[in-house]
């Protein structure tokens, strides 16, 4: 039987540091990442792909803001923006895979599911929004928008201005995950939970979108658990995870247990907003039946000992 792996594309798979985010830049980056996944295809893996959308959803919010100011077109809420970027980013990923398949003589289908992900309306993160999204504003602009919309704005720690912050609740259910499982087990590459998924809550037998951002690594980990994936790959911009990163005693980690990963996490070795969410997602996957989580950069995938592996 083929092995099943979920691969979470990090932000650098789509947009690299210093780039503006043009269409040409993004398709080139995605194409390179898809080329790197040929090694997994060649080894017989069936693949499910998750991806981030941070810079892209920020750009969409800027476009909405410009349309509102110039043409009085209403800005759309966060769940709508996530849905928009799920479709546009998946279009690039599908092209990258199709071109890789054509180049290597592979006969496979790739399909995208625009995916809603359920969160709890009682998640404590709704009382403590911390995830910055969208453009920077002056304090005066932020105060004005806050009065107008009720949104929360906080000052950037690096002094770049004020940004809207939204909750980042924990994903609890992936819509249509059974279809993801069926398609992937039949050999179709499936792109799902883009940007962590479109955040929805369920109440009074209905669902509604909410102003939130779901961590894409946690959403990808939950998908991997629910479809029974063998392995979970998190692609980032470093070949391995480090402790004492860029400090005296820096050390690359090869294979670590869940217990060791928790110890390093508790000791503060992994930064929030960077490596810490990836480590948590890896722990979550392995603790819930997964064989191992591999955190690495895409170019390392052909190497049998690539990345940092989290095991039981």
Q: List 130's β-bridge partners, or say none.
A: none
Residue among 52, 58, 131, 197 flagged as catalytic: 131
176 belongs to the catalytic site: no
At 262, is the secondary structure helix, strand, or coil? helix
273 belongs to the catalytic site: no
291 belongs to the catalytic site: no
Residue among 12, 29, 53, 175 flagged as catalytic: 12
Query: 68-71 long-range CB contacts below 8 Å, 24 or more apart?
Result: none
Residue among 164, 181, 216, 240 flagged as catalytic: 216
How far, in Å, CA of 162 to CA of 267, rounded?
30
Residue among 278, 282, 290, 307 flagged as catalytic: 278
How far, in Å, CA of 172 to CA of 176, rounded?
13
Alpha carbons within 13 A on the beta-carbon side of 73: 10
131 belongs to the catalytic site: yes
154 belongs to the catalytic site: no
Sign, Cα dihedral of 280, 282, 283, 285: positive
Residue 102 makes CB contacts below 8 A (sequence gap 6+) with: none
Active site residues: 11-12, 131, 216, 278
């Amino acid at each position: 039987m083929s092995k099943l792996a979920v691969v979470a594309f990090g932000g650098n798979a789509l947009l690299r540091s210093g780039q503006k985010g043009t269409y040409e830049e993004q398709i080139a980056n995605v194409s390179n990442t898809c080329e790197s996944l040929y090694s997994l295809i060649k080894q017989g893996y069936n693949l499910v792909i998750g991806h981030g959308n941070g810079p892209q959803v920020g750009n969409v919010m800027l476009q909405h803001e410009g349309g509102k100011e110039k043409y009085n077109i209403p800005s759309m809420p966060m769940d709508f923006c996530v849905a928009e970027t799920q479709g546009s980013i998946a279009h690039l990923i599908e092209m990258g895979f199709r071109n890789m398949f054509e180049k290597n003589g592979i006969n496979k289908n790739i399909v995208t599911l625009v995916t809603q992900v359920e969160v709890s309306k009682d998640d404590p993160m709704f009382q403590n929004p911390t995830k910055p999204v969208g453009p920077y504003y002056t304090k005066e602009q932020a105060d004005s928008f806050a009065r107008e919309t009720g949104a929360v704005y906080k000052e950037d720690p690096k002094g770049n201005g004020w940004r809207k912050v939204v909750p980042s609740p924990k994903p609890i259910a992936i819509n249509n995950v059974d279809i993801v499982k069926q398609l992937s087990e039949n050999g179709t590459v499936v792109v799902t939970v883009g940007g962590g998924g479109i955040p929805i809550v369920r109440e009074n037998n209905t669902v509604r979108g909410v102003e939130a951002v779901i961590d894409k690594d946690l959403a990808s980990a939950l998908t991997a658990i629910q479809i029974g994936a063998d392995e979970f790959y998190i692609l980032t911009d470093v070949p391995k995870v480090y402790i004492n990163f860029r400090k005296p005693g820096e050390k690359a980690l090869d294979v670590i247990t869940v217990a060791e990963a928790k110890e390093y996490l508790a000791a503060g070795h992994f930064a929030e907003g960077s490596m810490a969410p990836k480590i948590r997602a890896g722990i979550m996957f392995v603790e819930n039946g997964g064989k191992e989580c591999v955190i690495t950069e895409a170019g390392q995938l052909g190497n049998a000992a690539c990345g940092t592996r989290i095991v039981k």
